[in-house]
Structures are given as structure tokens and as C-alpha cells.
Amino acid sequence: MTPNVALAAIVFAPALALGSFLNVVVARLPERRSLVRPRSACPACAHELAWHDNVPLVSYALLRGHCRSCTAPISLRYPLVELATAFLVAACFWRFGLSGQAFVAAFFVAVLVTLSAIDAERRILPDLIVLPATAIVLVAQIALFPDRALEWVVASLAASLFLFVALVAYPAGMGMGDVKLALLLGAALGWNVSVGMMLGMLFAMAAATVLIARHGAKARKMAIPFGPFLALGAIVALFAGGPIFDAYLRLF
């Protein structure tokens, strides 16, 4: 086992716990509720969760996705956010080792998971997460890689400007939330943000094509959030952006 694989394995359980906290953020932050109090409770019957009903993944599996008290279904979002956070954070340490870069990447993917879940549920990308996260990533990137300071700043602004122009030209399908999210993507990915956004748009187009094939004209009225697709493109670019960028250049 290489050191990085061992590191990723060690990080997995704490990352699951982080995912559990991110679920609280997803549920409460958009409603401006406190992230620390009260304790987690069933949204259907308000029954407070005991610690053993609040263990990441395990509790969901043991309760078979239903509240112990009222048997109301628990959203599949809970185990999905926990699993996505655990795998992605572990992947950051596997890819970047025990380094500042791994911590920035782990922070970035955790924010993307949170934003994707909120966007999928509510069609919003809260400024309260996007803007502070962008500032934190930008400061960390400049501190870690000062010789690339210009890249982080320019990529951030250029990515955002690109989506802003797209939004003005084609207002359907996107919002200002996506334009601000691009600031974060550029700050985290540098020039690779071009790969991330191109993939994000391809994923969104693929999803829209599937919807239209299935639902025909009705699909035009179905608003699909763009944020999760941008996030997915950014995550692919984070781990494989360099090789994809090089392969693309070799086409010419």
C-alpha cells in the first residue's frame, strides 16, 4: 500500500463525519437556522435523534431509510452527501498526499458537495457559502503557490465573466448563483477551470437531452439546476484536468 492510499483510508471515517455535518448545513443554512442547536430531529415528527440514530451511513442502513419514531422516509440525500464527501475528501489525500494542496482540495470538494445538494433541493447557491469559500480558497492558493497568484485571480474572474456573458445571451437555464460559483471554481482550478466548465456544460447538455428524449416538450418547463453539473465538471478537472487539457491541445 502506498503512503497516499493509507492516508486516504485514514481520512475516510473523519470525512464521513464531515459529510454528516454538511447535511446539517444543507438542511439549515438556506433557512438561516443555527448549525449547532437544536440537535438533529426528524423533520416530519420532530422526534430528536439519539446519537445511535445519527451515525453516518450506518443509521440510515439500520433504519432502512425511515424515522424510528414516525416511520416517515429519510431523504436519500443524507447517505449520498456522506458517501460523496467521504470518497471525494479521501481522493484528495490519495491524489495530493499530506500537503496544503490536499487540504485546499478537500475543502473545495466539501463545499461543492454542499452546494450541489442545496441547488438540487432548492435551486439556489447561497452567497453565504459561495463567497466566503471563494475568499478562503483564493487566499490559500496564493499562500501555497505565490508564483501562480495571477493565475488564481484571473481564472476566477474570467470563469465568472464567461458565465455572466452566457447568462446575458441565454437567460434560461442559469442564474447569478452559477456566475458566482464560477469565481470559486476558477480560484480552485486555475487555468484548468476551462476544462471544468466545458465538462460541466457537456454534462448538463447530456442531462437535458435525456430529459427531452423522455418527456418531450414537457422537459422544456423542467428547470434543472446547473450547479451540480458545474460541480461535477470541476471535480473531474481537479483530479484529471492536466491530462484532459493536454489531450485536447494535442487534437490540433
- Residue 31 identity: E
For residue 216, what is the DSSP state?
G
Which lies closer to Zn ion via its Cβ, residue 45 or residue 135?
A: 45
CB of 38 to Zn ion, least distance (A): 15
Which lies closer to Zn ion via its Cβ, residue 66 or residue 123?
A: 66
Kindly list the residues in this chain that would bind Zn ion in the complex (CB under 5 A).
Answer: 42, 44-45, 47, 67, 69-70, 72
CB of 58 to Zn ion, least distance (A): 18
Which lies closer to Zn ion via its Cβ, residue 10 or residue 41?
A: 41
Which lies closer to Zn ion via its Cβ, residue 44 or residue 161?
A: 44
Contacts 24+ apart (CB under 8 A), 27-33: 29/118, 29/126, 29/128, 29/129, 30/118, 30/122, 30/124, 30/126
All cell numbers assigned to 49: 435523534
CB of 42 to Zn ion, least distance (A): 3
CB of 27 to Zn ion, least distance (A): 14
- 26/84 Cα distance (integer angstroms): 14
Burial 215-252 (b: 16+ CB within 10 A, else e): eeeeeeeeebbbbbbbbbbbbbbbbebeebbeeeeeee
